[in-house]
Amino acid sequence: MQFLKKYPLLILFAVFLYALTIASLLTPPREDSVMENRKLAQKPKLTVSSLLAVRTADKYTQKYETFMNDQFIGRDGWITLKSICESALGKIENNGVVYGRNGYMFDKFTSLDERRLNLNIQTVTEFVNAYGADTPVTVAIVPNSYQTLEDELPAGLDNINQAAEIEALYKQIPEAAHKLDLLPVMRKSADAGQAYYRTDHHWTTRGAYAAYQAFVSSRGLQAADWDQLASVRREQPGFYGTYYNKCKLFSAKPDTIEWYDIPIDSMTIAGKEMGGMYDMEKWDQHNKYDAFLWSNNDLTIIRSQNNLNHEEGKTTRILLIKDSYGNSFAPFLTYSYDEVWVVDPRFLMTPMSELMTQNTFDDVLILYNFKSFAEDSNIYTITK
């Protein structure tokens, strides 16, 4: 009784935590978190091997602790409360995400893995040397949002200078390849509208279109007119992207995704016929960007009759080697080529040498955002 009188707040706090723990145990576990865009840990099975496990990650106690953390009652509310408190304290970054002006979020990208970047440059060089003499190859490295939207950055952000890095990168790639400078293109697009999402690391379809137009123009081809695309333009509101998933900023406003209901003849992924260029179910889910091209996949082939440059009796074909930026970019290419072949090196099952020797391509475009190009460990597959 003496203890209760002396430390009433401590007792109340202990009772509060105990009640929350009991409530968490009695509440049915959730399978996933929409707010965090991930699967939540489920209750682990108690086995002899898990009790005797040496590795921390395999131990029953560790798995159970992770389960309790993930299933703690009101978890989403606690995450929001944490975000509110951090904002009140003036914190401008969380979990590698920096808060900019006008609702923009950016990567905190202050150091490079020079070895990985150089390996990827070497890989592209080998690809150009192997195929560039017979097939026009264009390399297009997209600057990430913080490099383009400098007016939206918080003061003092000391990120990698991507403009300088891309310029240096292009100098190392053989002259046989065309290098597309997209920084001025993206800045012009940002001046005209929203070129990057506020809560996500991808460019918007407006930004992707600007890059498409620049690429097609560099190849001497006609591009689809922006205003003429209005008839197939669709909007999907309520998009909280990868930056939001990392930082959970309570005041974040959702983005709206524009997409284009472009008619096509067919689209296959690894030989399987798909119902179109978009996974329509994804528009109603949290990670809406995955709707584009059914997310990242093995070889995707799109055939259409949209080609504004079509010549009777000839089938033009482009090979797009890309990261996820290419997913919202590829649909526009149907207006400039008869066939659009899309490859994501992270999921490529067919050897690239087989693709290149058994098929004829009018163009090859290697399209990556800079951060992805600097960090990707799968680009090497394009030389296999």
- pLDDT value for 8: 67
| Domain identity same for 299 and 231 | yes
- pLDDT value for 310: 98
| Domain identity same for 230 and 341 | yes
Phi/psi zone of residue 324: left (φ > 0), alpha (ψ -120 to 50 degrees), beta?
alpha
| Domain identity same for 296 and 148 | yes
Name the residue range of residue 315's domain: 114-237+256-381
* 16 in Cβ contact with 46 (< 8 Å): no
Number of folded domains that form the chain? 2
Residue that finishes a domain, picked among 24, 55, 73: 73
- pLDDT value for 52: 67
| Domain identity same for 207 and 272 | yes
Nearest residue to 347 (alpha-carbon basis) of 371, 318, 319, 381: 381
Residue count of the chain: 384
Kindly state whether residue 99 falls inside one of the protein's structural domains: no
| Domain identity same for 316 and 194 | yes
Kindly state whether residue 108 falls inside one of the protein's structural domains: no
* 139 in Cβ contact with 187 (< 8 Å): no
CA dihedral 118, 124, 127, 128 (to 10 degrees): -110
- pLDDT value for 182: 99
Nearest residue to 245 (alpha-carbon basis) of 237, 254, 256, 257: 254
* 150 in Cβ contact with 183 (< 8 Å): no
Nearest residue to 208 (alpha-carbon basis) of 169, 249, 258, 160: 258
Kindly state whether residue 91 falls inside one of the protein's structural domains: no
- pLDDT value for 27: 72
- pLDDT value for 290: 97
For 2, which DSSP code? H
| Domain identity same for 69 and 135 | no
| Domain identity same for 65 and 127 | no
CA dihedral 325, 180, 362, 306 (to 10 degrees): 60
3-class SS of residue 285: coil
Alpha-carbon Rg of the chain, whole angstroms? 25
Residue that finishes a domain, picked among 73, 96, 123: 73
Residue 265, both tokens:
């003849």
| Domain identity same for 56 and 188 | no
- pLDDT value for 68: 64
| Domain identity same for 147 and 60 | no
Indicate the angle between helix axes 162-172 and 114-131, nearest 10 degrees: 40
Contacts of 78 (CB under 8 A, 6+ apart): 72
Kindly state whether residue 89 falls inside one of the protein's structural domains: no
* 30 in Cβ contact with 42 (< 8 Å): no
Give me the tens of pLDDT residue by residue for the chain, a chain 384 residues long.
565 566 666 666 566 566 656 765 667 777 766 655 556 778 778 777 666 665 666 677 777 677 766 776 666 766 677 767 776 777 889 889 999 999 999 999 999 999 999 999 999 999 999 999 999 999 999 999 999 999 999 999 999 999 999 999 999 999 999 999 999 999 999 999 999 999 999 999 999 999 999 999 999 999 999 998 999 999 999 999 999 998 989 899 999 999 999 999 999 999 999 999 999 999 999 999 999 999 999 999 999 999 999 999 999 999 999 999 999 999 999 999 999 999 999 999 999 999 999 999 999 999 999 999 999 999 999 999
Kindly state whether residue 243 falls inside one of the protein's structural domains: no
Kindly state whether residue 97 falls inside one of the protein's structural domains: no
- pLDDT value for 15: 65
Going 185 to 191 to 195 to 197, the CA torsion angle's sign is positive
For 303, what's the count of Cα atoms within 13 Å in the CB-facing half-sphere? Answer: 8
| Domain identity same for 163 and 42 | no
| Domain identity same for 291 and 369 | yes
Kindly state whether residue 1 falls inside one of the protein's structural domains: yes
State how far the Cα of 140 lies from the Cα of 358, in Å rounded to an integer.
Answer: 25
| Domain identity same for 139 and 209 | yes
Kindly state whether residue 96 falls inside one of the protein's structural domains: no
